[in-house]
Structure 1
Amino acid sequence: MPGLKLGGVEHGTVYATRGLTAGTWSRGRGFERIGSIPGSNVAARLFDIPPISGLLDRVTGSVTTTNLWPIGGDRLLATVGAELFQSSDRGQSWRLVRRLPESSGPMGVLPTAVCRHEDRLYLAEYPLGGEAARVVVSDDGRRWSTYVSRSDVRHFHGVFHDPYSGSLWGTTGDTNEESAIGRFVDGEFHPVGGGSQTWRAVDLAFTPESVLWGMDCSYAPRIEILRLSRDDIPPEPSDTDSPVPDVVGAVDSPVFYAVTIQSGGTAWVVFSTAATTGTDSTGPGTDGTGSGPVQVVAASRRSGYERWHQLLSLERSPALGTTVPGIPTANAYAFLGTTPEGAVLINPFNTDHNHGQILVSHPATFTEAPRLSTEPRTVG
């Protein structure tokens, strides 16, 4: 049976998928099916058939093929491969509303691709080669049009609403020249900073005083967690040099996902890393051939986000492809969410332990977790 994959959380309802099955999850009731997403993607359908998915899991590891987001009321969005679906009845029925670029990855886009901002929906497409990088926009989740199109970056990793400034932010990658973090102003993407792997990010964490992210780079000798003070962010689009963010931590693998929560009068930022496979095609070749474990780390405002505690560390699932050359293998992740009560949801996927489970972690226990070392790691 396919592993459970965390989707979005809205008004305390946790949405998730199990293969092509959409549903909700709670600690008391577990996963409850709502309906089936009608994706035509061959890989998604194969991984949705229990006997075949079990065999493929042992060979390649578990592959993530779906995303699911609540977008208000009874409406949901989902991607399966290069297809975008919308439901107006909370997932009981679906309609195809957009075809994504042909080179899109197995999930179609990243989980960070969808954002609600000023009553509109934004989606960051994720081509892996050839097509223009686009962010598209919709008023209802059914009809989409191009909001921004760029030919100078490979793709957008995500779009994000900043609750403190009210701005719409985005992240791009993947080469040094293509990597940027910036804001959308008047239908254009304006980098706040870019031009190096320091600015190659997937997700962003917003706090009242700063914006934080981790490097999405498997080959750097030091994968840094960075903090940019809001005082250093230009109020308007600017052609000046990039500001210099503060390095506040380091991890062993590329940073993918982030959440910010409030607990006990202080804010906590939580990041998760991915155990990626193979060589980064946009990097310097043999200098980077993968990454370390899946980690989940947290730091609080009280420490200036400089003391990071490791909440979880898991290895990628030991599939056959990890030991036999030539067999493709899947990345491993820890998807993140939050609850209205201020708990963090952690969903390891394709890991050696806790694969497909949703774990609940409370900030009161974070300081009991071991502190991270910030020494540079060895890659090879």
Structure 2
Amino acid sequence: MVLPLQTVPIVGMELEPFLVLAITALAGGAFGAALGALPSFVFTGFVVFLGEGLAILQSEVGELPSVPNGELAVGITGVIGFGAITGPHIAFAGGVAASAYVGKKYPEMSPKGWDYHLGKNITEAYGTKPDILAVGAVFGLLGMLISQLSSGLGLPTDGIALSVFLTALIARAVFGYPIIGKPAGDGYFDMGPFEREEPREQADDVPEPNAGRLAVEPWLPHQYKWPGVAAIGVVGGLLGGYIWLQTGSIFLGYGISAMSLLFLNLGVAKIPVTHHLTLLGSVGAVIAMPMVGSTLVALLAAGALGAVTGVVGEASQRIFYAHSGTHVDPPAMSIAAVMLVIGICYLLGLLPNAGYLGL
């Protein structure tokens, strides 16, 4: 996410600070490949939770003599959580690219019982294999550059989410996967082949060991039906909005949601993915509060925007995720898309603020 105080503009940056940032991004991307994309994102949640918690504590205690008010949150949330260490555009993106690479290079690494293409297995840690770490490192650097370019150009959206999306598409192109893929049913939105457990008839885009994978592979088998997606969107949005109303932190709900994915990574069935919902729920409350002046209405707006974000995420997974062989992150796509609409509306004078965007 683009935080106004964390932006480090590349244009005009001196060589040494740029090299420090670039080398750290290389290490962060390799870190994401070593741990795996999803485990690295769980670390994002813990770091963001820590940073926002300290910021709330500092706001209650007051300014410390050696730490200006707000600096704790910027240092931990921005520089580390959303920065070159565990930033999703670096560590998670590096892990996603590593999985795409493994799916083509090492098909024998497919876990027993894995029905999807190996390139979508973002729960696995890849350890210390140098070529896999190198892929993660390169994409970590690429993710940092895309995010910084987005910020430098002043694009009215979440540059980190946009970077996560674009690096995943670039990984598909680099490693020879279809950018979107061909739908197996009646169009991209048809999940019927998955529900009927139909296998892919011809896997011309993947290594032969994966030829029997499912014809359609929804992002989350327990979170793809429209009513359920909308319902969990309302729930996540309400919780994110309430957290902001009570604490003033836009990102605390995001951190809690990201931490909850530890259980999904450990194999607990039907854990929902909600960080995009709680984040946009907070944004909904941030936007609505100055317009209506009512905490109740602001909370309801948070739930509504959470539902919209959930539906947008599901629509994006049906287009970009379900029909090709690698992970393209639906939460990142939904955050980038919804924040783009919010950013444009703010620039047009239709909204009092743009949430957390530094416009």
Q: TM-score, normalised by structure 2?
A: 0.28
Flag the structure with higher helix content: 2
